[in-house]
Amino acid sequence: MESCRKVAIVTGSSRGVGAATARLLAEKGYHVVINYSKDLKGAEEVEKACADRGAETLIFRGDVSDDDACRSMAEEAGKKWGRIDALVNNAGTTKHCAHHNLEGLSKEDFLRIYGVNVVGAFQMMRAVAPFMKQAGTGSVVNVASIAGVTGMGSSVAYAASKAALINMTICLARVLGPEIRINAVCPGFIQGDWNRNGMGVELYEKVKSHFERKAPLRMTATPEQIAASILYFIEDAVLVTGETLLLDAGQHLM
């Protein structure tokens, strides 16, 4: 069934930036696919928030490192609404490991992190491309990280994966136009449970305070602020593709 409203898929949207983006897109008139791999309760809370904003939703459980799950997610959205207008590749994972601790990362760690952060994003773009090509328009926003620019972050594997995602944004923007625009955002430190749970409360507060004292703009990002920039790429940046926007309050200048 062809929907008169636009349709967006947001991977990893049961919490954090993904949840904020899903809510914002619903507010702006999109129907939304809410993707999660573990947190059903969070996905259901996002679903209710989107419905309260007038959107139809589809909750899809799936790990984006699984190509079958990516293809099924796109196919179910297409079957339900007849279109896919936007994809936000937000699903991500990491392992916290000090960069000097070379023995702290295994081959399996790298493959797991790359499987979600890089391969998963590629598989999702491949899955939605036919729908966007057929419609003649579409926008993809890849949620990378300032870690992919500075080589800092939670681990070497994570930073390297986000650098690869930035590069892949350029590669696919070059070949999937003119119908599909592909851009990336690179958040710095983001407030919320993802960093709090990964770092532990004490380190989280210490790092947050550090950036709010030392970064040029003296602030750290909220998920809602990142979502607003994602929406800009989807809705307004009609002349922009293959670009990377740093959303770090100037942390890369420190």
Catalytic residue ranges: 158
DSSP H stretches of helix in the chain? 16-27, 40-52, 67-81, 107-114, 121-135, 147-150, 156-176, 193-199, 201-214, 223-235
Q: Which residue has the tokens 């990377």?
A: 244
45 token code pair: 């809370």
In whole angstroms, give the CA distance from residue 139 to residue 179: 9
* 8 A C-beta contact, residue 184 and residue 244: yes
In whole angstroms, give the CA distance from residue 91 to residue 17: 10
Order of strands, edge to edge, in the sheet holding 138-143?
57-61, 31-36, 7-10, 86-89, 138-143, 180-187, 244-247
φ, ψ at 57 (rounded to 5°): -135, 160
CB-CB neighbours of 95 under 10 Å: 18
Strands 31-36 and 7-10: parallel
* Four-residue CA torsion sign, 95, 11, 65, 123: negative
Q: Which residue has the tokens 């702290």?
A: 104
